[in-house]
Structure 1
Amino acid sequence: MAYLNAYNIALKGLAIGKHDFDYQVGKQFFEYFDGEIAGDGRVEVKLELEKRSALIVLWFHVKGTVNIQCDRCLDLFDQPIESQNKVFVKYGEEKFEDGDDVIWIAPDETHINVAKLIYDFIILSIPIKHVHPDDARGESLCNPEMLERLNFLSVKQESEEESPETDSRWDELKKLLGNK
């Protein structure tokens, strides 16, 4: 838990106005959060905090690379990421459901820890499909041995000549669609 103290922002004594914070996220950060999706990375986070009288606005600018596993060949690769996110921090005794971009804290709270927010924004900026990018020639950078093995084990689809004869009851409907 002491590691995450670096991500604490003291709210008491913070003047009204804009304040900038910079964070460098690496392997130890990802390991703290289990590193389930990304086990390592080099990410720079620029946090712009604007303190107002009734609320605080946090702008997160995330840019870097995370080391993730390819869905196709299972090798690790560095995925570039970049995102910008805004979070509102409101003061109140009770917590209300205002959406995903609002955090409620008690008026007597002395600090806010932004580590979990940073981790969430990094993970959310990773594309859903995790595959190696193509090189300059348009060829996949995936492990060639694994791609060969996948091609060998993939199910071959029957060509139209080999497929059984189609049901004639559908022919009139296919004409309506312009398929035949």
Structure 2
Amino acid sequence: MKLQISHLKDGLHSDHLLDSASAFGFENPEDFADKIAVTLNIDKRGSDFFIKFQVEAKMVLRCDRCLEPFETTISDHSSALYTTKEEFVSDDSSTYLIRDGDSELEIGTEVREIILLAVPIKALCAENCKGICKCGQNLNKEACLCTKKDIDPRWDALKKLKGLN
């Protein structure tokens, strides 16, 4: 995704982008239920651009407990510096090197990183999701009818002591 900057004068600017996931470089756009919304607050100073990103996307994730697909809204923010000064650029920061006189900035990488880092580590369709039984039944849809209880045979001796056998 390219952001046109040739028309920007020094000072503060705002922009709002709404585009498909593939426009931001995502390989699986089917993981998104809608277009990605990006609000940009741009501070241009000379040939440098400090940009604050606010990103919102509706994604289709799979629940980690029941494996059912569900929609969730991912929303996060970040900032990045696009500069002509090589000494400010490092591998571990959100600082990007641009050439003096560039007419556009590549912002797709930053937007992609914001979204990927905002995806929950444990994706749940609901806080009270019951998950899947060992027999494969989705416990959110109906109760499991399996009667097999997996009990470690090493505990049988304790059952005999307690009289549960």
Residue identity in the other structure for 2:26: F
**Structure 1 residue 164 displacement after superposition:** 7.3
2:108 matched to 1:115?
yes
What is the total number of aligned residue pairs between the two structures? 151
Could you give the per-residue CA deviations for residues 28-58 of structure 1, whole angstroms, max 9, x where no partner exists? 547x52128x711333211111111252111
Q: TM-score, normalised by structure 1?
A: 0.65
RMSD of the TM alignment (CA)?
Answer: 3.7
2:2 matched to 1:8?
yes
Q: TM-score, normalised by structure 2?
A: 0.70
- Identity fraction in percent: 19
Alignment of 1:1-180 (within 5 A): 7-26=1-20, 28-29=22-23, 32-35=25-28, 39-42=31-34, 43-92=36-85, 96-97=89-90, 99-134=92-127, 139-140=128-129, 145-147=137-139, 156=150, 162=155
**Structure 1 residue 93 displacement after superposition:** 6.1
**Structure 1 residue 103 displacement after superposition:** 0.8
Return the alpha-carbon distance in structure 1 between the equivalents of residues 145 and 85 of structure 2: 58
Could you give the per-residue CA deviations for residues 5-49 of structure 1, whole angstroms, max 9, x where no partner exists? xx322222310111111122445547x52128x711333211111
Larger helix proportion, structure 1 or 2? Answer: 1
Unaligned runs of 5+ in 1: 1-6, 166-180
Q: 1:151 to 1:114 in 2, by over 3 A?
A: farther
Question: Whose RCO is larger (CA < 8 A, sep 6+)?
Answer: 2
SS of the residue aligned with 2:12? strand
Residue identity in the other structure for 1:127: P
SS of the residue aligned with 1:121? helix
Answer whether contact 2:22 2:28 (CA < 8 A) is retained: no
Unaligned runs of 5+ in 2: 159-165
Q: Which moved more, 1:142-151 or 1:124-133?
A: 142-151
Q: Which moved more, 1:139-148 or 1:15-24?
A: 139-148
